[in-house]
């Protein structure tokens, strides 16, 4: 699976959009971009995934660049409850291995 | 729809003892995954079970083992406990989504194991 690079921490004001970047310059054509988050001491929560098109769901939007070498997770109106560690994971969709490889992630602190 | 459940929430054991952790996947999910998150460290993949079979394991010694039952629930057993086994153990489940096989995983709240 491709390696990802994320900033270790970010701050965001409550009510503003939080834009979390992820670099995955070695991504292959059949690898998906996944985002999870982990609120303190809880299990990770699936947020969104995409292959090459931008995706949106009730939680967030995922913007993937045309060359697929980077992506941005957007939380449109951040709340205090969005304070968490956000993980960007790149992996092949249909693989016999299936394990998720979590890096260090980005610690997002939403400020009141 | 009920999420992934795990029991117990907390478990305290002594060095050398055995620990058994349990996981019930989301209804309809056939795959169960176990991860370890030691304090200050990232999540490390432990085991993957699907349809009652162990499909893959991470870089952990054989004293970490488990099984999956016919109802797809799963047990993780840790034998000969060591102090460094103290961690949050997370279970996740996934479903074959059919056309787009992306197998996103849904996590339970975890079992915090403390070895003294």
B85–chain A nearest CA distance, Å: 17
For residue B17, give the 3-state DSSP assignment: coil
- In chain A, what is the straight-line distance between the N-terminal and C-terminal CA atoms, in Å? 37
Nearest to B6 by CA among B30, B35, B28, B44: B35
Q: Is the minimum CB–CB distance between B106 and chain A shorter than 8 Å?
A: yes
Which residues of B are less than 8 Å from A102 in CB distance?
Answer: 42-43
Mean pLDDT, chain A, integer = 91
Query: How far apart, in whole angstroms, are the C-alpha atoms of residue B15 and residue A88?
Result: 36
Query: How far apart, in whole angstroms, are the C-alpha atoms of residue A110 and residue A10?
Result: 9
Please, which pLDDT band fits residue A1 given cuts at 50, 70 and 90? low
Nearest to A88 by CA among A29, A28, A2, A11: A2
Is pLDDT above 90 for A30? no
Residues of chain B with pLDDT under 50: none
Mutate to test the interface with A, among B9, B29, B103 (most CBs of A within 10 A): B103
Query: How far apart, in whole angstroms, are the C-alpha atoms of residue B31 and residue B53?
Result: 9
pLDDT tens for each residue of B54-82: 988 999 999 999 999 999 999 999 999 99
Give pLDDT, residue B74: 98
Would you call A49 and B102 a contact, using CB atoms and an 8 Å cutoff?
A: yes
């Amino acid at each position: 699976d491709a390696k990802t690079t994320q900033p270790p921490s970010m701050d965001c004001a409550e009510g503003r959009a939080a834009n979390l970047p992820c670099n995955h310059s070695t991504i292959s054509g059949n690898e998906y971009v996944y985002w999870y988050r982990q609120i303190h001491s809880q299990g990770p929560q699936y947020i969104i995934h995409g292959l090459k098109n931008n995706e949106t769901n009730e939680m967030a939007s995922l913007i993937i660049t045309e060359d697929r070498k980077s992506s941005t997770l957007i939380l449109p109106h951040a709340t205090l409850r969005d304070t968490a560690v956000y993980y960007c994971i790149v992996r092949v969709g249909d693989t016999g291995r299936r394990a998720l490889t979590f890096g260090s992630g980005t610690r997002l602190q939403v400020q009141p | 729809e009920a999420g992934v459940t795990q029991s117990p929430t907390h478990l305290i054991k002594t060095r050398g003892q055995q620990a058994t952790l349990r996981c019930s996947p989301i209804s309809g999910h056939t795959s169960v995954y176990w991860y370890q998150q030691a304090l200050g460290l990232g999540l490390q993949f432990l085991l993957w079970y699907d349809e009652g079979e162990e499909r893959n394991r991470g870089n952990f010694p054989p004293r970490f083992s488990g099984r999956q039952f016919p109802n797809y629930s799963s047990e993780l057993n840790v034998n000969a406990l060591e102090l460094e086994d103290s961690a949050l153990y997370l279970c996740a489940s996934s479903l074959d989504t059919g056309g787009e096989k992306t197998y996103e995983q849904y996590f339970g709240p975890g079992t915090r194991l403390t070895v003294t």
